[in-house]
Structure 1
Amino acid sequence: MVADAGDYPPRVLVLLPPSETKLAGGDGPPLDLAALSHPALDPVRDALVDEVVELAADLPAARAALGISERQDDEIARNAALRTSPTAPAITRYTGVLYDALDVRSLRGAAAGRARERLATCSALFGLVHAGDPIPAYRLSAGSTLPAGGTLAARWRPVLEPVLAAIAAQQLVVDLRSGSYAALARIPGAVTVNVLAERPDGSRSVVSHHNKSHKGALARLLVSSRAEPQDAGAVARIARKAGLTVERRDTHLDLVLPA
């Protein structure tokens, strides 16, 4: 469990989006909300876990709420077992393109330690989890609509924004979240990142297909570096040192790639 924001030493926090896909299994004990960082989030976590478990008993309703098909009923079975299934550290629970590019399992020594300290994930179910927080496999997206009504953003924002604001007051937050997860809570002063493709004629477009891969690679650079960046300019320097083309506008960075 990571200490609350008042106990953070100065360092960068890289905030990742979750993935729809999760690694199955784990060797940790069943879910214990007290083992997660930021206990201020526990009332919403507890309510959402109960709702997701209850929803799993109604397959058609669960499919509709989660936006999945009958072929993905194993995801609903995972939700039914949220309170009893084994846990794994959050940074190894999430899988997919971004996490493949981050490749945290290949980090060694001090870099592995920095990954545990510097990485966190925004979760529709748990709000904010740090790399070592033990969580079960689950299925819930930021855009899911639970039977209790209201958006997940409306439920998370009042409790998650103060937590993130307290962190941002003491640390530089590099926000790599996608739009739906950024909507769960705003972060004052966070460094945001877009990935742009530049064509030979100089025109540009936002990269969609490989966006996650490049953000995962940037996250890896930030945990591999011994530097403690204090602003967007310092983040840009780390990326440029690795050969990336980066343009800065205040707290926003554009990674520019050839189309």
Structure 2
Amino acid sequence: MKILFSPSETKSALTTHGLLKKESLVFPYLYEKRYQVLKQYQALLETYDTTLLQNLFGIKDTQKNLVQASKNIFDSFTCKAILRYSGIAYDHLSFATLDKNAQTYIENHVMIFSNLFGPLLAGDLIPEYKLKQGESLNGFKTEIFYKEYFSDAIDAWIGDETILDLRAGYYEKFYTLKQPFITMKFLKNDKVVSHFAKAYRGQVLREMAIHRPSNEKDLGKISFEGLRIREIKEQKLKREYIFDIID
């Protein structure tokens, strides 16, 4: 089973491995394409243009922006992507508390879509960075670039496995699924939750790691804490599991 996931705006400062190199990332044969994006990003940081940096990072504080811009991604130590991201979903996943088998499942079966790095396996090694969701690199749209050059590689990685798409809507721009897939929606008092959906996605991912399903039948056997399935809707390629959040 393959799982598609979103990154987070917040990042940890953890460093456990060496500098970024093509072997650090999935699809190393496409590293030169990825390097084009990273090089553009780094060049923008080195302008130290305060307005540009404010747009890139989504931070108003000039001093914080200058500190962030001083971090060269090519000269920074790395850690696994699944540990680099530290937002709500990742808090609820709590990767570090999983056993080794569950961690290995996550590292090999979860693809995270980064604004800057594009498609990453959870176990890929990346440096700390900052790029506001949806922000272009001075007009260069990374989502269009990665969709054009990496879609075939992602297709091959997925193969004929069952797909669970837990991405937030924005990250669908990086890759369009072309085969049947499963998604999830979370309701509270009959209303769709948005911000707190991140927490439940993280919780679902944790249970996936613990139970390590290989197909939809296995997925259906998992009882997700605090969630009760209401219905399953089908629309073209999508099978949407709709859950009620229960107290």
Classify the TM-score, shorter chain: 0.7 to 0.9
Do residues 15 (structure 1) and 4 (structure 2) align? yes
Alpha-carbon distance in 2 for matches of 1:227, 1:48 = 35
C-alpha separation in 2, matches of 1:37 and 1:136: 15
Alignment-derived partner of residue 244 in structure 2: 256
Residue from 199, 207, 219 that aligns with 1:213: 199
Q: 2: distance between equivalents of 1:141 and 1:65?
A: 6
| Residue identity in the other structure for 1:77 | S
TM-score (norm 2): 0.87
The equivalent residue for 1:56 is 45
Larger strand proportion, structure 1 or 2? 2
> 1:44 is matched with which residue?
33
CA RMSD of aligned residues (A): 2.1
Q: Are the equivalent residues in 1 in contact too, given 2:8–2:87 (CA < 8 A)?
A: yes
Aligned to 2:97: 106
Which segments of 5 or more consecutive residues in structure 2 lack a partner in the other structure?
none
Contact 2:19 2:74 in 1 (8 A): yes
Relative to the length of structure 1, the TM-score reads 0.83
Whether the 8 Å contact between 2:144 and 2:173 is mirrored in structure 1 is: no
Aligned to 2:228: 245
Per the TM alignment, residue 245 of structure 1 is displaced from its structure 2 partner at its CA by 1.2
Equivalenced residue count is 237
Deviation at 1:40, TM superposition (A): 4.7
Q: Deviations over 1:78-113 (max 9, x none)?
A: 3xx100010001111110110010001001132232
Partner of 1:68: 59
Q: Which residue of 1 aligns with 2:164?
A: 174
Asked if the contact 1:118–1:223 (Cα under 8 Å) also holds between the matched residues in 2, the reply is no
Helix, strand or coil at the partner of 1:249: strand
Structure 1: runs of 5 or more not aligned: 1-11
Indicate the residue corresponding to 1:8 in structure 2.
none
How far, CA to CA, are the matches of 1:56 and 1:168 in structure 2? 34
CA distance in 2, matches of 1:97, 1:227: 23
Q: Secondary structure at the match of 2:174?
A: coil
